[in-house]
Amino acid sequence: MQSSCIIVGTFTKSESDERINKTIVEMKDLSSSLNMKSREDVIQRIEKINPAFYIGKGKVDEIKVIAENLKVDYVIFSNSLTPLQKRNLEKYLDLSVMDRTELILMIFEKNAKTTISKLESELAKWTYLLPRLTGKGITMSQTGGGIGTRGPGEKKLEVDRRYIEKRIGILKRKIKDYQKSIKVKSERRKNLFRVALFGYTNAGKTTIMNRLTKNNFFTDDKLFTTLDTVTRKLERYIVLTDTVGFLGDLPHEIIESFKLTIEEASDSDLKLFVVDISDQYVDLVLDDMAKVIDQLKLNNGDIIYVFNKIDLLLHFNRIDYFKDLYKNSIFISAKTGENFELLKKVILEEFYKKLDYFEISTDDENLKKILNYVNRYGIIKDIKSDERNIIKFYIPKKYSKFIKVNFS
């Protein structure tokens, strides 16, 4: 069922119009990811935060009139609200009020399908709620109406601080256990070349993953569709990992949960930073992305910027512009498959860069030893056996010392 809302975008006096517009578009996308239609947006530049309502009383009155006229279900703020501000606004407007963090947490809750993403999204929720508890506890909604508020006619669930603290402990333990089991899996992938997709939510990461690995993971024109880290084979010796998407100005509860989710992908051999080049605010998206990349410490190792959705571009000078700006970049369409051969070639080149190449002429006994080793860690290109054997192979640089010391 679709519900409706008003979006209240609050900004400082110096915020650029472009940033304001991007925030509003993003808030609309977040709401529509929860099946909420935004009926009107109210923009307010703020000099001094009003402790009672965040915005000035006059603006609250204005919103009240609009909300009554449009009969909306929710009012959603682009900034964080204190529990007091939220309570005051709800009381005064006689409506459910949410802030951006709540919206994101609700999307996480809705889209979490696997055990681990459910644990992580629940952990993010309680971590958000704990410092916001007032009095002895909180009345939870079980089906929506905002994180920590109760929707009409819903079952009441009273929780107190002790319950939440205990639950956070349990969730953290469960997530740790899961991470241990993942570590075992990723140990097994140590000898493989690991490529990972990172980037803004909705940039097309999963669509790229599907095309490259011939899979059919769920994609959607909504925010935070993928919450899990998924790894599949791309080529022999190469695996590709899809991850949860970013968004600018992520609240710390969400950043913490991202850290857990992407841990196994963050030390990949090659990172593909995916960007929707057709996004009208692509420059701001790149700024926001750079910040998240910093926060999550992803700015190490080999990186390629993958500009996706070129099929939607009307002016190709955008490609030239970003080609100049990002030396390691590639321009593709995951929808039409344009430049996918090039993308694969670039990945393979990066893979081969990490390998040493050997041609060794040897006797039967040493051939056996070399074969044993290379079968474990490298790739055999060719073996010719005449008077002596000639074996040609690639091996990751970290394993080539053994070959150099013993056989060359």
Ligand X SMILES: Nc1nc2c(ncn2[C@@H]2O[C@H](COP(=O)(O)OP(=O)(O)OP(=O)(O)O)[C@@H](O)[C@H]2O)c(=O)[nH]1
Binding residues for GTP: 199-206, 224-228, 242-245, 308-311, 333-335
Q: List the interface residues with ligand X, window 348-387 (CB under 6 A).
A: none
Q: Which stretch binds ligand X (CB under 6 A): 23-31, 158-166, 213-221, 314-322?
A: 213-221
User: Using CB atoms, what's the residue nearest to Mg ion?
Assistant: 226
- Residues that bind ligand X (rule: CB under 6 A) add up to a total of 22
| Residue whose C-beta lies closest to ligand X | 245
Which position among 207, 229, 261, 339 is part of the footprint of ligand X (CB under 6 A)?
207
- Binding of ligand X by 309 (CB under 6 A): yes
- Among candidates 210, 196, 231, which has minimal Cα distance to 337? 210
- The listed partner (ligand X, Mg ion, none) that binds 311, CB under 5 to 8 Å by sort, is ligand X
Site map for ligand X, 182-201, x if CB under 6 A?
Answer: -------------------x
- The correct pick among 157, 290, 312, 342 for binding ligand X (CB under 6 A) is 312
213 belongs to the binding site for ligand X (CB under 6 A): no
Residue ranges of the binding site for Mg(2+):
206, 226
Q: Report if residue 32 touches ligand X, rule: CB under 6 A.
A: no
Output 11 or 258, the one with its CB closest to ligand X: 258
Contact residues toward Mg ion (CB under 5 A) are 205-206, 225-226
Of residues 246 and 358, the one with the C-beta less far from ligand X:
246
Among 308, 329, 389, 400, binds ligand X (CB under 6 A): 308
Q: Which does 243 bind (CB under 5 to 8 A by kind): ligand X, Mg ion, none?
A: none
Determine, following the binding rule CB under 6 A, whether residue 335 of this chain makes contact with ligand X: yes
Minimum separation from the CB atom of position 226 to Mg ion (A): 3
Residues that bind ligand X (CB under 6 A): 201-207, 219-221, 223-226, 245, 308-309, 311-312, 333-335
